[in-house]
Structure formats: C-alpha cells, structure tokens
Structure 1
Amino acid sequence: MALDINDYLQKIGKKYTKESTLAAALVWRLAEGRSGVDVDLNQVVSVLVDSGFKSSVNKSRLKKTLANELGINKGSKKDTFRCSLKHIDDLDARFSVDEEHSIPKISFSFLDEGTFPESRAYLVRMGEQINGTYEYEFYDGCAVLMRRLMESLLIEVFEHTGQGQLIKDAAGEYKMLKGIISAIGGSSIKFARGIDKTIANVKKVGDNAAHGRTHITKKNDINDLKIEYRKLISELKSKSNIS
C-alpha cells in the first residue's frame, strides 16, 4: 500500500467506475486493509473531489449506496464506514492494485474460467484459487476454498431474495456457515433435489481440511465432490441472479 492515495484512486478507477464501488475501495485503502477501522465519509468525498476524479459528490446519496457495497459496514460513529472482517480477504482481492504479484497460470480444470462475471471480482479470484490449488495438488486449501465459495454464494442468495436478515446476528454481522445453512429451512429459498446433501458434504470436507489436526485431504476427497459441486455452484448462481 505504498501508493499515494491519489495514485491509488487513479489505478483502481481503471477497474471500477461506479461511484459507490470507488468509495468502497477508498474505505479499504484508507483503513489500510484492516477491519474495525472507521473511515469518515467526508474523507472519502474529499479524496474523490480533491483528486479531480469527481467534480462533485452527493454525500447523502453516496452514504446510502456505499452502505450497500458488499463487505462495507457502517462504522461505530455517524457517517463512518469500515471493512467487514468476514469479507476482508474478498476486499483485498477486489481492491488491491499491487502490480508486483501475479496469479500463476492455471488450466481451469475444476471450475470453468468464465464461471463468474468480472464484475464479481472476489468470486472470480476464488474460482481461480480453487482451480489453482486443485491443479497444484494443495487439496486441503482447495477444500477450504470450496467451502468458502459456497458460503459466499449462499450469502448472495439470501441477500438477493431479500432475506439477508435471517443470516445476520444481533450486531448485523453474517453468521457462521452452520447458522447460514440452518437458516435455509426457515426461508422461502427452495433448492433443487440433492443440493442440501451437497452443501452438507462440502461443509464437512472443508471443515475437516481446516480444523482436522492430523487430517490431510486427498485428491479423491475432492474428486468425489467435483460433479455435484459444479451443480451446486450453478444452482447458487441462478438463485442469486449472478450471470
């Protein structure tokens, strides 16, 4: 994060043009990629205007649209925003402009390269990492990422169907995956036959990979899930209207 804030804005502005998304990127940048750090909306507006990137900003409108950006929460004080801890890795993937690092070449033998639109950068990056960890035989990492992608898409489904409140705790933060899965039964969301079993299996394999002290995920553990996992991702994309 050595770039000057104005230089950063110029670079991220080549990737995103939507005002609220640029503001979300500035919240992430001004918070130095950390959750729990409040960023004043006035500071965000000042950067947008003083840099010449925007001639003017409707603060009231931006306040509303910024609150709807995935991974950005309202701060502890009036007119402040902060990065969600749950989405901090996704924000890093979306808003980093570090040109010193590049993603290694991968063959996309697990999930198709065009599975997610470029507008959903955090989903694209997760898809790339799932393919990469599978190809390079890092199966524990692959299992954890499969679980994480499923969790992210389940959240997208709840939010798209207007039932996001069912998967949030009293503080407004998203529940853990177990709570999200439990909320499906109390929602109006209906999945195709067999999807509930696949969700349970992906969680089990991912949990074992993440928390099994002596467990090592094998290639067959992943291969046994591949076909049903692709069906699951397709179903979740459809239910969340991601195309």
Structure 2
Amino acid sequence: MLDENISGVLAKVKVLNDELRANNPPPEDTGHSTEQPIIYMSLVQGTRGYIEKLSHQINGTYENGWYDGCAVIIRRLIETLIIECFESKGIAHKIQNSTGDFVYLSDLISATISESSWNIGRNAKKSLKALKDIGDKSAHSRRFIAQRRDIDKVTADIRNVVQELIFLASLK
C-alpha cells in the first residue's frame, strides 16, 4: 500500500515537473549564476558581454557540479582574454597562423609570456600553465572526469590570470 502511494506521488511529481519545464524552458541566452564561486563578477563586469557570459557559465557549471564543463569554459575564457590582450595592442597577427586563425592555447600562452609589449606577472605565468592543464584534461582526456577539488585547486590561479589579462587588455 505504501509503495503504491509513493509510486503515485512520484508519477504526479514527474507530470508536474514535465509541465513546468514545458511552460518554463531554460533561458535562450546565458543565464546569470546565482553565486560567484569561481569568477568574481566585479572583475569582469563592464568588460565585454561575452566575457561576462562566460564568467556566469563558469560559475553556474561549478554551482551545479559540472566540473568538466567548468574547466573547459575556464580554458575558453583564458583563450579569449589572451586574444583580447593582443588585439588591444594591435598585434593580433603575432598569434595567428598563415590563414589568419588564432593559434592553439599552448602557443597563445607562450606568446603571452614572451610578449615584450607588457610584463605579465610571475604568478600569472605559472597560473596559465595550471589552467591549461585542467582545461586540456577535461576537454581531451577520455577517462579524466574533473571533480570539485580539481577546480578548487586552481581558483586562485583563475582569479590571478583573469584579473591580469583584463588589465593587460585594457578592458578595465
């Protein structure tokens, strides 16, 4: 009798959930994260809309426990900010291949570290490599599944690199 009641309640909850989802789908555009566990929005606010949206996605994936997604979007944000740095100085050609496409992240990082137009901090140099590593594992390793602690280990690196690159790109 109790099992029938529970089954009936669960079936009704499922119907209600399906109706709610049909009438209230996820937003068409990037939603706002409710917390700021990884990227402080004050760091990216007023920069570029796509940088703010990536930051919300990083925070949102972390909040929901989607750590591989979080790591991959962190990787994408770092790539984006590096490109912003070179574009802001009018030297984007230094990070493009012969067909005009931007080079891979490893080459972006090398170019960023060795660029004479700015002096990137020692800590940011180390942090770039750590962020590339977790992003690469989550994006390219079949058997690696990121966990919260993997992201937690690099939160200081994220803050350091994001703030440094935003300032080097003259976005703030």
TM-score of the aligned structures, taking structure 2 as reference length: 0.77
Tell me how far apart the structure 2 counterparts of residues 185 and 193 of structure 1 sit (CA, whole Å): 9
Identity %: 32
Tell me how far apart the structure 1 counterparts of residues 60 and 34 of structure 2 sit (CA, whole Å): 6
The CA deviation string for residues 34-77 of structure 1, in whole angstroms up to 9 with x for no partner, is: xxxxxxxxxxxxxxxxxxxxxxxxxxxxxxxxxxxxxxxxxxxx
Equivalent residue, structure 2, for 1:206: 135
Equivalent residue, structure 2, for 1:143: 71
Equivalent residue, structure 2, for 1:132: 60
CA shift for structure 1 position 182? 2.3
Tell me how far apart the structure 2 counterparts of residues 206 and 100 of structure 1 sit (CA, whole Å): 26
Does the CA-based 8 Å contact 2:138-2:145 persist in structure 1? yes
Does the CA-based 8 Å contact 2:134-2:150 persist in structure 1? yes
Number of aligned residues: 145
Of the candidates 168, 171, 183, which is equivalent to residue 96 of structure 2? 168
The CA deviation string for residues 65-104 of structure 1, in whole angstroms up to 9 with x for no partner, is: xxxxxxxxxxxxxxxxxxxxxxxxxxxxxxxxxx963626
Equivalent residue, structure 2, for 1:193: 122
Structure 1 residues 115 and 184, CA gap change in structure 2 (3 angstroms): closer
The gaps in structure 2 that reach 5 residues or longer are 1-25
The gaps in structure 1 that reach 5 residues or longer are 1-98
How do residues 73-112 of structure 1 correspond to structure 2 at under 5 angstroms? Answer: 101=28, 103=31, 105-112=33-40
How do residues 61-76 of structure 1 correspond to structure 2 at under 5 angstroms? Answer: none
Tell me how far apart the structure 2 counterparts of residues 105 and 154 of structure 1 sit (CA, whole Å): 24
Tell me how far apart the structure 2 counterparts of residues 148 and 155 of structure 1 sit (CA, whole Å): 11
Equivalent residue, structure 2, for 1:18: none
- Alpha-carbon RMSD across the aligned residues, in angstroms, is 1.9
Asked which structure has the greater RCO (Cα within 8 Å, sep 6+), the reply is 2
Considering fraction of residues, name the structure with more helix. 2
